[in-house]
Amino acid sequence: MSLFESNPLSHPEPPASDSKRPLADRMRPVTLDEYAGQEHILGPGKPLRAQIERDQLTSIILWGPPGVGKTTLAHIIARLTKSEFLPFSAVLAGIKEIKAVMADAERLRKLGRRTIVFIDEIHRFNKAQQDAFLPHVERGDITLIGATTENPSFEINAALLSRSRVYMLRALTTEEITVLLRRALPLLEPAITASDEMLEKIASASNGDVRSAYNVLEVAAAGSSGGEIQDQALTDALGRKVLLYDKTGEEHYNLISALHKSVRSSDPDAALYWLTRMLEAGEDRMYIARRVVRMAIEDIGLADPRALEQCIAMQQAVHFLGMPEGDLALAQAVIYLSAAPKSDAGYKALGEVTREVRQGRAEPVPMQLRNAPTSAMKSWGYGAGYQHAHQFEDAVNEMQCLPDSLAESRWYYPTERGVEKRIKERLDELRARRKPPE
């Protein structure tokens, strides 16, 4: 018996209305016109829509956050295509199941029938499992549709990725979800109403996840009476907003990147917003503290030498106080860094010197800079020509401290911002005094 014969989704039909089914399931669209959002890939004339409508789909990866319609889009494709359709989850399937499905797909191809295989959470497949699909995708035995919440560049094998087109689905906007919630109200039993303000509140709290919004609406309706959703019922249904966050995944790096770049751009309000997003999602405070210390070194530097002092004090406060008191120290440091003058001159200088050291010749230390602890070493010229700075006026000598081949090299170029402006003036003065008369 074919695996497809017992599969109700090989040619799925729109489910009949059933008030006992979850609201999110009853609201699932069955046509592209009913599908909300994603106009950037499904609008009229867009390539993915054209492929679906012409039944010319190639292997694709649908990438986006939870609740944006990846599985729903796959089901719509199933209803519009003339292919066999087999969905299964990467959480439950293994190599054995994959091989069985691929054998059936190869047999159907020889009979002139196509197969679409939909894999939910494809990023959960390991390398060997993903590799099992490659020859069948290449031969055309199957058209692969993978759905993932993780960045395909990190989680999908390069070989499989190169044979698929990646479509990025965005989180639905508050306005889009509000419209969907309004459409869903007539399906609730008993009939109930809700103000636009309440629906917008649900949509905002859902973080772009329409499935979550439907669930909250359903719970709030069940806890209300009098034909209208009540404030307390909505508050109880919402509970505490759970923010989309994965401490080891892409969103982790997206948020710390947003925080760092907001500080670098001298925007304390944006920096506080991204910081709070991380705090509310439960990020490790010491991880944030380490990154904030890095910001002080990398983006403020000597334009404000106190920035590093402030951040080390913050790190100690976070370690000493813990949560939630230490969070205020993090916020204080982020505000300080945002308002501080910026300089990456030290960061750039170290990078340039590192390139010189790695790529250039390892020049010997000049004799005048070498120590001479023995008489023999003195006789060999060690320390000859050394000028002790404190024996000169203002402790400024004329001794060359770089090898001859690098004598005129400069790597550190201070900015005109903050304390670094004074540093620049001092260095210009020192260089002028050391310059030999013409």
What local confidence, expressed as pLDDT, does residue 93 receive?
65
Residue 92: pLDDT band by 50, 70, 90 thresholds? low
Residue 426: pLDDT band by 50, 70, 90 thresholds? confident
What local confidence, expressed as pLDDT, does residue 82 receive?
74
Q: Is 323 helix (H, G, I), strand (E, B) or coil?
A: coil
CATH code at 23-168: 3.40.50.300
For the chain, first and last CA: distance in Å? 97
Q: How far apart are CA 416 and CA 342, in angstroms?
A: 10
Pick the CATH number of 250-339 from 1.20.1740.10, 1.20.272.10, 1.20.1090.10, 3.40.50.300: 1.20.272.10
Q: How far apart are CA 130 and CA 154, in angstroms?
A: 13
258 and 268 Cβ atoms separated by less than 8 Å: no
The tens digit of pLDDT for each residue in 365-406 reads 888 888 888 888 888 888 888 888 888 888 888 888 888 888
Q: Which residue has the higher pLDDT, 308 or 252?
A: 308
> Is residue 91 pLDDT above 70, yes or no?
no
Where along the chain do its domains lie? Answer: 23-168, 174-238, 250-339, 365-434
Q: How far apart are CA 408 and CA 278, in angstroms?
A: 47
> Is residue 15 pLDDT above 60, yes or no?
no
pTM: 0.60
Find the mean pLDDT for residues 115-126.
86
What local confidence, expressed as pLDDT, does residue 245 receive?
55
Cβ neighbours for 106, distance < 8 A, ≥ 6 positions apart: 136, 139, 141
> Is residue 16 pLDDT above 50, yes or no?
no
What local confidence, expressed as pLDDT, does residue 11 receive?
46
Give me the chain's average pLDDT, please: 84
> Is residue 10 pLDDT above 70, yes or no?
no
Q: What is the spatial order of strands in the sheet that 165-168 belongs to?
A: 84-89, 115-120, 143-148, 60-63, 165-168
> Is residue 316 pLDDT above 70, yes or no?
yes
Nearest to 184 by CA among 142, 136, 218, 231: 218
235 vs 62, 86, 201, 209, 239, CA distance in Å? 33, 40, 10, 18, 6
Find the mean pLDDT for residues 303-328.
91
Residue 79: pLDDT band by 50, 70, 90 thresholds? confident
Q: Is 168 helix (H, G, I), strand (E, B) or coil?
A: strand
Bond from prior residue into 403 cis (ω within 30 degrees of 0): no
Q: Which residue has the higher pLDDT, 90 or 300?
A: 300
Place of tokens 């199933």: 78
Q: How far apart are CA 202 and CA 184, in angstroms?
A: 13
269 and 311 Cβ atoms separated by less than 8 Å: no
Q: How many CA atoms lie within 13 A of 28 on its CB side?
A: 21
- Of 79-88, 212-221, 354-363, the one with minimum mean pLDDT is 79-88
Domain 365-434 listed as CATH 1.10.3710: yes
Q: Which residue has the higher pLDDT, 249 or 101?
A: 101
Helix (H) or strand (E) holding 232: helix 231-238
What local confidence, expressed as pLDDT, does residue 8 receive?
40
What local confidence, expressed as pLDDT, does residue 284 receive?
83
> Is residue 17 pLDDT above 70, yes or no?
no
- Of 104-113, 203-212, 277-286, 307-316, the one with minimum mean pLDDT is 104-113
- Of 25-34, 51-60, 96-105, 348-357, the one with minimum mean pLDDT is 96-105
Q: Which residue has the higher pLDDT, 173 or 89?
A: 173
What local confidence, expressed as pLDDT, does residue 237 receive?
83
Find the mean pLDDT for residues 192-220.
87
Find the mean pLDDT for residues 346-356.
91
Q: How far apart are CA 25 and CA 187, in angstroms?
A: 11
Domain 174-238 listed as CATH 1.10.10: no
